[in-house]
Amino acid sequence: MTPEVTVPPPRPTSARPIALGRPRAVQTAVSTDVRLRARGVSVRYGQALAIDDVSLDVHDRAITAIIGPSGCGKSTLLRVFNRMNDLIPRARVEGRVEMDGVDILGRDIDVVRLRRHVGMVFQKPNPFAMTIYDNVAYGPRRHGVRGRSRLDEIVEHSLRRAALWDEVRDRLKKPATGISGGQQQRLCIARALAVEPSVILMDEPCSALDPIATLKIEDLMTDLARDYTIVIVTHNMQQAARVSHYTAFMLAGEDRTGRLVEFGLTDSLFTAPSDKRTEDYITGRFG
């Protein structure tokens, strides 16, 4: 068999992927530019060390999945990327996370501005108790966008981008709580997109959805990854395998502190993980 003439992307930092001998053509499409560079990130809640010394590169315009058993610190790490841990009393974050060369954990960072660049979608769809239109227009208005036609434009663009426009275009002035769970989650994605972020964090975005709605979100994520950097926390390994380009596996030890065990190309991690603990977890032998 003749190897395909393709160039695999460079090995991600802190990864130990075992690349298959014949790199798949699809791998060439995966971005290797780094959008978020985490170095030595640790998070404490009071005295408890929740995650310890995590370093990884989140690649630009790619989907990075964070997987691991409950309590391994996946969501804690995700929240580091837009400083959501700042909202938790007694939470303390150490280390650096660089975005465009700037440490977003720095004290002088405007957190509101940061969250405009790094949007978040949560586990349970959480539309505001207002109309569909106002949900999407909420962020732009907060950031000073005025003018009906400009807002109309943003709302339509964001809803189209979230693959929801055709389903709600005739009921933009209806309450957002009246649409289905899957639609609500896509509305939340549209709301995040409306402020033009470059990174979207998703914390178990499909865990409250049925399989059809889940597949719609997954298709949407794949589509969005052409323009946005996506980091998703998921318990669903098949979902991580299906949608992500890179996967990080975290695990908490007996000290209940989460650590990054392995990070690499999803293709490699799910076919030939380099760490025994990753192998055991993804083959269902513990966790």
Partner 1 sequence: MTRELFEKKLREMQDDVLIMGSMAEKAIQRSIDALRTRDVSLSNAVIADDMAINAKRYEIEEKCIHTIALQQPMAADLRVLVAILFIANELERMADHAEGIGRINLMLGDEPLPRPLGEIGEMADKAGDMLRRSLTAFVERDAESARRICDEDDVIDHLYDAVYHALIQEVIRTPADMQRITYLIWTSHNLERIADRVTNICERIIFMVTGQLEEINVSRY
Where does this chain bind partner 1 (CB under 8 A)? 1, 18, 20-22, 237-238, 241, 268, 270-273, 278-279, 282-287
Which residue number, 22 or 141, has a Cβ lying nearer to partner 1? 22
Token pair for residue 268? 């490699």
Contact assessment for residue 277 and residue 266, using Cβ atoms and an 8 Å cutoff: no
Instruction: Name the residue nearer to partner 1 (CB basis): 214 or 268.
Output: 268
Q: Please report how close the Cβ of residue 1 comes to partner 1 at its closest, in angstroms.
A: 6
Q: Which of 93, 32, 1, 24 is nearest to 264 (CA)?
A: 32
DSSP 119-170: EEE-SS----SSBHHHHHHHHHHHTT---HHHHHHHHHHHHHHTT-HHHHGG
Nearer Cβ to partner 1 (47/238): 238
Per the listing, tokens 């393709």 go with 6
Q: How far is the CB of 100 from partner 1 (least distance, A)?
A: 35
Q: Which is nearer to partner 1, 55 or 271 (CB)?
A: 271
Minimal distance, residue 278 CB to partner 1, in Å: 8
Query: Which residues, in sequence order, are CB contacts of 282 under 8 Å at separation 6+?
Result: 67, 237, 249, 269, 270, 273
For the bound state, the minimum distance from the C-beta of residue 4 to partner 1, rounded and expressed in Å, comes to: 11
